[in-house]
Structure 1
């Protein structure tokens, strides 16, 4: 936490671990090529159309992803699984020598919410809404995603452009929750791929079967999900349905649509109504970062308080600790707040009377 800022960054990691950096770049490239082949483009894909998709995956594309893009075995499905496993091994080794930091940093009890498959499996693209409390007790029991407004409400606070969601039945004070990788692994019953399931069992054994409430363990959970994604990519590539031509389904037009999915950073709610001219008349979005608003604030508070030295000052290690706490939740502040322009980190320290005693700003 208090390393030299000139080394404590992605460039420093690359210089000390060049092979790890290479793997990260190639894993990202593999994922982007998958997106381009299935969605039409690597960013803002064009493949999704009303009722389905506009192309299948050719045998040539499939074989390239299985065996290696452009003949490169480092860009193959098996290599993605291998590197995902080695990333988990790296984290577990780091954890063994930094247990106090990873377990204690910004750790606090909370509720956890995510989608699960109807049989309780980890599911990213469809499912029912489930939530558990900090002890693992079920507090939202597999509600149809179209009924999300029966489960979740949002609070508005004067000092933030972001809303604060909470589980209606528990109220504003006790109903806030976490979403994302940590929540998904706390909520689901199992992961439907064998290697990731084995890692989930290790993850849960660490907290003796209770939900994991440690902010830094978001990264552990992310790597388990990375392994699951790699396994699922290979499984799907071997599915002959990918080469079929029945790409669009039939259905009746309706004026309202509700969709929930598990984005990488957490549960994402989209709700639209349209008129007869197909113009949107109502839109309600609760994005992942908004769902994590309250826990992010609590993580920042915990990190800052832990760095207090007894002096009325904001130190560089405190600024870094606050950033570490925020980044654990992988926020997208622009999509959660619709803010324009740059969003620097600004930390202000107040005394008990509310007077500003120090202020630091970085990231301009």
Structure 2
């Protein structure tokens, strides 16, 4: 209903302001050094505008600047090489035999120059780095983007004649399909195969937390090692920094075991 959209529009206008305040807050937090991920990965936005949909996978150059790689979404297994590890029920994902990072920070690092409007202004207010502790700052920037994007969609709906739509009919057949989407924690991949009766015979889902897990574990080991090298042996002090890192990644453990 039109009045519902108008109410939502006012709430989203406030959300943009709140998002900018969140960016200012996280920008003011001093973060301790954490080694950046070797690679970042995200879907390349369509039409060169920042967003959460894409038709190809971009992987950063790692230690070789200017050598970014792109893959078709159907070729996601060339990016996510899953391996079983003894200590976890969730698999690890590697690219070029190394852990990599997905999520808000990866998207901002790869495509931050495609932001526009208030979200672009929010980005220029920051000195965001590749440090994974800046993932929360990247999430705040994306909050501004998502709110302003919702406002644009509402304006489009208000300017058009909305009507009920009927889903198209289809006949089951043997087929396969692969899709990907940028969700808050990173890239979500899902692949399905169906038989001639339309029954699902194979499913493959790789969630963002599963992709980030190897990188998180690497970072945790790095923090513990650096703290001990600095002569900090207090377990509580070390666990506090480890907790800060894990919350920055914002993992969903129940998702990871897909």
Instruction: Normalising by structure 1, report the TM-score.
Output: 0.63
- Aligned residue for 1:331, secondary structure, equals coil
CA distance in 2, matches of 1:112, 1:90: 25
Change (3 A) 1:124 1:158: same
- In structure 2, the CA distance between the partners of 1:317 and 1:156, relative to structure 1 (3 Å rule), is same
Matched length? 253
> Which of 206, 217, 235 does residue 315 from structure 1 map onto?
235
Contact kept, 8 Å, 2:101 with 2:211, in 1: the verdict is yes
Aligned to 2:69: 140
Structure-1 residue corresponding to 2:149 = 232
Question: Which digits, 9 at most, give the CA deviation of each residue in 1:99-135, with x for residues without a partner?
Answer: xxx151x233420000122344322134321010345
Aligned: 1:186 with 2:106: no
Q: Which residue of 2 aligns with 1:65?
A: 8
**Is the 8 Å Cα contact of residues 134 and 213 (structure 1) preserved in structure 2?**
no
Is 1:59–1:243's contact at 8 Å kept on the other side of the alignment? no
Name the CA distance, whole Å, in 1 between partners of 2:153 and 2:93: 35
- State the alpha-carbon separation in 1 of the partners of residues 112 and 55 from structure 2: 13
Instruction: After superposition, give the CA deviation of every residue in 1:242-279 in whole Å (9 maximum; x if it has no partner).
Output: 82334635666552221100110011111111223333
The counterpart of 2:58, out of the listed 125, 130, 133, is 130
Residue 275 of structure 1: aligned partner: 195
Over aligned residues, Cα RMSD in angstroms?
2.5
Q: Which runs of 5+ in 2 are unaligned?
A: none
Segments of 5+ residues of structure 1 without an aligned counterpart are: 1-57, 68-75, 339-364
Q: Per-residue deviation at 1:305?
A: 2.3
Asked whether the 8 Å contact 1:120–1:190 carries over to 2, the reply is no
Quote the residue 1:84 is aligned against. 19
1:169-184 to 2 correspondences below 5 Å: 170=96, 172=97, 174=98, 176-184=99-107
Q: Which moved more, 1:146-155 or 1:249-258?
A: 249-258
State the SS of the aligned residue for 1:177.
Answer: coil
* C-alpha spacing 1:157/1:180, structure 2 compared with 1 (3 Å): same
Larger RCO (CA within 8 A; separation ≥ 6): 2
* 1:48-63 paired onto structure 2 within 5 Å: 58-63=1-6
Check the 8 A contact 1:289/1:331 in 2, yes or no.
yes
Task: State whether structure 2 residue 237 is matched by structure 1 residue 302.
Answer: no
Cα 1:190–1:247 change in 2 (3 A) is farther
Q: Distance in 2 between the 1:324 and 1:242 partners?
A: 48
